[in-house]
Amino acid sequence: MRHPDFVILYVDQPSRSADFYARLFDLQPIQSSPTFSMFKFASGMRLGLWSRHTAEPTAEASGSSGELVVQVEDFAALDACCASWQAQGLPIAQPITDMDFGRTFAALDPDSHRLRAYVRTE
């Protein structure tokens, strides 16, 4: 069996969300249409943004029912990431906090999907 390599977020406006993620990750979509956009990261993982209005079967949940997670190298990188996301106007849902898995914070995208950055601590 293969491992997952593709995540889809259901969004209200795919073009708005594609613009948001292009700025956030400094990356252009590899596919784009009025109802769907897709990004491919250097790791090989893909992120799809599908219109919640055209998804089949109908997308029931929205917003913070899951998280897109980014691991950063160290505490300084986490602080810089948080500052950058705040400067871009992302709402911070959880300020930088020490948790059992590491130091982390969470922000929200335009559809209220959670975006989490963290540094793993032992």
In a domain, 62, yes or no: no
CA 2 to chain centre: 23
Selection from 24, 15, 6, 91 nearest residue 53 by Cα: 15
Secondary structure class of 26 (helix, strand, coil): coil
Tell me the whole-structure pTM to 2 decimals: 0.87
In a domain, 20, yes or no: yes
Domain count, the chain: 2
One domain, residues 18 and 47: yes
Secondary structure class of 24 (helix, strand, coil): helix
Range of the domain at 32: 6-51
Q: What is the pLDDT of residues 26-43, one digit of tens each?
A: 999 999 999 999 999 999
CA distance 33 to 14: 8
Mean of pLDDT over the chain: 93
Tell me whether residue 61 is exposed, middle or buried, using C-beta atoms within 10 angstroms of its C-beta: 0 to 12, 13 to 18, 19 or more: exposed
